[in-house]
Structure 1
């Protein structure tokens, strides 16, 4: 072990009981160490939450949306079975399901709510979406042709104050033209199920009916709005949507989830990058507190530096001593921050609910955010980047004071000793 490391370690570990100035230097070192630990821990936790938010958002959106969607240019698609068969020939397409999608209004006991009506085939829909896994009451396969059953999102059912077995009136925007006036078209549906995917946008506005019932209500005969496709790899959706042009022979519009929901994921990625930069400034401020610590340490150790120089220590060795002292402060703070941040990120699902119960607050309101729970996904690659950047900042902060120490003139330092 080199003497530079031994001296730097001794300066860092010294009890500093002799002078008040030394005790103040020790206090500044502790503050710098605590600042680095706090900044690193905050960075790890925040980036883990952003990763978890992105994962939850993608999972919940794509649990009820489609990886790839084939629709007609005029909003209607004829001969959907042939199109579904052609699309299913692509090796990455796992399943296909037709759908009818239109606007409507639901009425129950003088309460009216706007809704997005989606007509589905329950057996086929179960292969491309996860509604069956999120049923809170009833079953999806209870939607039968001609039965005029309806499955509502949990928040929509709560707003209408309906439960399974109640009958609601669905009003279609297309009216019936009569000699007297244009009358709204409406049909009574029986609530056969309630789902909750945990995403407010769908839970509060989506209603599912059987495909044939939707076709009858909206007068689409045997036409549909489009075909939803599920892929074996959702991240290949842009590539698959382009390749499907050669499989589907009809004039159709093919889109994927990255176009339909790109703004959500782009916003999360931008926020993650911005938060990384902002929180990195906290680490930078804490790291550059080391400059103050080392400047005062150099002033305090002028005589020691002079004696080392007269004993033959080179300027590089003197510089190395103080670089090691500052680096040790940074490494200890960095280690504490990484351990604390990783522990908190892995247990945030326990810590946050405890804080919410204790103070009676809610961090994520369901009617404001897309998810109501604070998720976390720790990526060790993020931890590695944070640790590396923080350590580099710490080393940079030690360079100037250490360089000043290496240029100290022994004669000037010992003149008044």
Structure 2
């Protein structure tokens, strides 16, 4: 009859479950079971929480880049202004024609001429270095993180009447809506005695928070025509800011953009400026996954210790079951299920705990800040203002597969040991 017993029959589950229910005489087995369960729970929870935080950080970091900066910048290599003059300039004088050709490329959503320059922004004795972007009002309204920021003061519709600045810069200089902000540029008027600094005051009509600490603390948007005059770029543009439909895959657009830009065209993408940081994030993700996987393995190894103790304590029972007709396979499956129960329950608890951590990450960070008196998350170092988390099904699946796989594998050795126990030896002294 034993030979006709189907694998993993209900009685095998029943016996395994009874063995896992601790009795006072088997307290050691119970303790090892609980240690294994808690270890797997914490290991899986830590793995899921870490993967969620890393995914959220990368998504937020990339979104702030793509939402506030050009996906691709088209600019010109320095070219001789007049043949034989020895004077070189990278200014685009045919920027309108180039922008129209670039905008006509399939996959390009916007091509906006830009003026860029650095200034010293001052107000009431306070000063800070700022980067000025000269852009038209219509083009400014198509920048997601500026036109639809996390928070904003004023109206972007009034951009033509003054300038737009980041909230960090406004806070640094103590600037509010309607205040005059003085900008000082070394590229001023050219006189017989050289180039004198240019000082101009502009009304702040819009204050935005793009979500990136470095952008909010340094960026100023100025109307395109005013920027041309301020930086001595009359009838020209420094570059063309290009937005595309799929910024993650820019390679197919490289050749069309080069052709549309004309002779001397150079390209610089957001991936070029951030590739080293993103690669570092990918490497860190892999390293953290390996480290936390080792922690899950260590927790799973406790299952082996608990099962070895259980097999030793249940030697008499194993002998009786074998004499009653249970095969080695049935005995092996019983003790395999003992370890598998621990792994499954621990994995379910770990997934629940890790998902709750990721979902309530804001409350968790608020509590950690409260414990440490604030300042745990420094945006000046990490670039973004808060620790984000993004739960992904693939990450949860990886954690579940890893935990269950390790839990099942480590139970095989003690389960086989139990199955091969000689019933005569097990009952000799009973």
Please confirm whether the aligned pair reaches a TM-score higher than 0.5, indicating the same fold. yes
Give yes or no for contact 1:41–1:337 (8 Å, CA) kept in 2. Answer: yes
Give 2:153's match in structure 1, choosing from 137, 154, 160: 137
Is 1:406 the counterpart of 2:419 in the alignment? yes
Deviates more, 1:238-247 or 1:30-39: 238-247
2:22, 2:29 within 8 Å by CA — same for their partners in 1? no
Q: Give the secondary-structure state (helix, strand or coil) at the position aligned to 1:189.
A: strand
C-alpha contact 1:126 1:132 (8 A) present in aligned 2: yes
2 CA distance for matches of 1:290 and 1:129?
Answer: 52
Q: Offset at 1:305?
A: 1.6
Deviations 1:22-50 (A, max 9, x none): 11111110111011111111211221111
The alpha carbon displacement at 1:85 in A equals 0.9
Task: Say whether residues 1:257 and 2:265 are aligned partners.
Answer: no
For structure 1, which segment, 215-224 or 126-135, has the greater mean C-alpha deviation from structure 2 after superposition? Answer: 126-135
Give unpaired runs (5+ residues) of structure 1. Answer: none
1:129: how far off? 4.3
Aligned to 2:203: 190
Q: Tell me, yes or no, if the aligned pair for 1:7 and 1:321 is still in contact at 8 Å.
A: yes
Cα contact 1:97–1:228 (8 A) shared by 2: yes
After TM superposition, give the deviation of residue 128 of structure 1 in Å.
4.1
Q: In the alignment, is the contact (CA less than 8 A) between 2:140 and 2:147 conserved in 1?
A: no
Aligned counterpart for 1:8 among listed residues 6, 12, 16: 16
The answer for the alignment partner of 2:366 in structure 1 is 353
- Give the structure 2 partner of residue 392 of structure 1: 405
In the TM superposition, what whole-angstrom CA distance separates every residue of 1:109-146 from its partner, at most 9, and x where no partner exists? 222211111111111222244312226222334333xx
Partner of 1:376: 389
Cα distance between partner residues in 2 of 1:288 and 1:242? 55
Task: Trace 1:15-414 onto structure 2 (pairs within 5 A).
Answer: 15-17=22-24, 19=25, 22-74=26-78, 75-134=90-149, 136-144=152-160, 149-174=162-187, 183-357=196-370, 360-414=373-427
TM-score, normalised to structure 2, is 0.89
Moved more, 251-260 or 112-121: 251-260
Structure 1 residues 360, 171: CA separation in 2 closer, same or farther (over 3 Å shift)? Answer: same
Q: CA contact under 8 A between 1:128 and 1:230: conserved in structure 2?
A: no
Partners of 1:170 and 1:176 in 2: CA distance: 14
Q: Aligned equivalents of 1:33 and 1:242: distance in 2?
A: 57
Q: Which stretch of structure 1 is more off in the superposition, 319-328 or 399-408?
A: 399-408
TM-score by length of 1: 0.92
d(CA) in 2 for partners of 1:48 and 1:29? 28
Change (3 A) 1:175 1:121: closer
Asked if the contact 1:177/1:183 (under 8 Å) is kept, the reply is yes
**Where does structure 2 lack aligned partners over 5 or more consecutive residues?**
1-8, 79-89
Q: How many residues align?
A: 410
